[in-house]
Structures are given as C-alpha cells and as structure tokens.
Amino acid sequence: MPAASEPGRPALPRTWRPLGTSIAAGFSSATVLVAMLAAWFLLDPEVRANFSWYQRITMLLLLAGAGAVLWGVVRCRVTATTEGLVVVNGYRRYSYEWAQVVAVRMPDGAPWATIDLSDGTARPAIGIQASDGSRARAAVRELREVIDAA
C-alpha cells in the first residue's frame, strides 16, 4: 500500500462522494419541506381542523419516506483504506480486501463507476457518478492508482 508521503498518490483513507447528487438531494428535501409547511400554514384554520390524525400521520410518513430515500442517495460513497475498499450504495455496505479488487471503470455513458472483482463479478460504485464530470474522472484515476499500488 502506498505511503501517504508518496507524491501523486492519494493519502489513505480516501473517500469519494457524489457532489451533484448530494446537492440535488439537499435542495429537493428542503424544497419539499418548505412547500409542505407553507401549504399547511396557508390553509384556513377551519380546513386544517378537518384533517384527521390519520391523515396528518400519513403525510408525516410520506415525508419521512421521501427523506429516507434521499438520505440513502446521500450516503453513497467509495472509501479506500489500507485494508481494502468499502463501497456504500444506498443502505447497502460492501467491504473488499485489496486482493478482491481487480479494476475500476467508468465507460462513456455509464451513470457511475463499476468495481471489477476477482471472482468475475462487478459491483456498482454509486459514490463516483459520471454526472460529476471531471470530478468523477479524477476520482476514477485516483482509485485506479490506489488499486494498482495495492
């Protein structure tokens, strides 16, 4: 494994996260929350009084469900450590030793990077998203350097 002092190699541990998706999720959640609160408080008190507790709880559960989905999107990341690679896709976490990781690729048109494993399978790495443009290409280059050094 490369030492942190080697020039041109990323220091470990190193984590890559999608920037654009995190910004979109944060903006979306704030917008939905503000819209729901505004709609609630702009209603006449008589109309608000007609909502049953079941309807209020249903709206809160829908808001919580949307928040859970957006939180799953924000959690996505790829972390390289001295022991191996950790890939978090939504609410699933995968840990690989360096011997299991063969390569990382992100062909043109792919939505995110893919980790090729020694058993012939591939795992999506949603933490490196093509929508981030040059930032994603740099992340793939850095991860390739770490894999090659391992």
Mean pLDDT, contiguous 10-residue spans, the chain (150 residues): 55 92 92 91 92 93 92 94 95 96 94 96 95 94 91
Report yes or no on 28 lying in a domain.
Answer: yes
- 81 shares a domain with 56: no
Report yes or no on 69 lying in a domain.
Answer: yes
CB atoms within 10 A of CB 84: 16
Give just the sign of the alpha carbon dihedral 142, 114, 16, 1: negative
- 45 shares a domain with 27: yes
Range of the domain at 35: 21-73
pTM: 0.80
- 61 shares a domain with 91: no
- 81 shares a domain with 46: no
Count of domains observed in the chain: 2
Report yes or no on 110 lying in a domain.
Answer: yes
Q: Report pLDDT digits (tens) over 96-113.
A: 999 999 999 999 999 999
Distance from C-alpha of 59 to C-alpha of 27, rounded to nearest angstrom: 20
Distance from C-alpha of 46 to C-alpha of 8, rounded to nearest angstrom: 66
Nearest of 74, 88, 87 to residue 19 by alpha carbon:
74
Among 73, 104, 133, where does a domain finish?
A: 73
Report yes or no on 9 lying in a domain.
Answer: no
Report yes or no on 56 lying in a domain.
Answer: yes
DSSP per position, 7-21:
TTS--SSEEE--HHH
For 8, 31, 135, the CA distances from 24, given in Å and listed in that order, are 31, 10, 16
